[in-house]
Amino acid sequence: MLTNPVIDAMMSRKSIRKYTEEMPSDEVIQTIVRAGQQAPFAYQLCSVLLSRHPDHHPFHAPLLFTICVDSHRMECVMAERNWRMRNNDLSLLLFGIQDAALMAENMVMAAESLGLGSCFLGGTPYYADKVIEEYS
């Protein structure tokens, strides 16, 4: 099998559920988010929320990134450009889920390549009210 640093990071990636208390630097966080923004988006229909409260996070991780489908972003861009929406809500949801997943994958791989562990959590939709309250 061929290898390089990117493939090595992908092959060594695994879910981590035990974290140190060390907070990654702002530069590391910005790098991870920027890598996520480089994902091959359909419409870039997602937003990233960041929480730095380990006591409130699963596994007491120092950071918690929440990547949300954000169809409102597309509506704002279209309105600003005076363009008409041609997609229905289901299309926007599907593209948004795809965009969020691609962004998350890029962020996970960037974190892995920088020596940080991660764990995908799939329960956020069940706690949407709490997420909205936390970030309002």
pLDDT in tens, 37-78: 999 987 788 889 998 988 888 788 899 999 988 888 778 888
Q: Please state the domain count of the chain.
A: 1
Bridge partners, residue 48, by sequence: 67
In which domain, by residue range, is 57 found?
Answer: 21-135
Q: Which of 21-25, 78-82, 85-89, 125-129 has the lowest mean pLDDT?
A: 85-89
At 74, which helix (H) or strand (E)? helix 71-80
Residue 4 lies in a domain: no
Residue 114 lies in a domain: yes
Q: What is the DSSP letter of 84?
A: P
What token pair was written down for 54?
């380990």
Whether the pTM exceeds 0.95: the reply is no
Bridge partners, residue 15, by sequence: 118
The CATH number covering residue 56 comes to 3.40.109.10
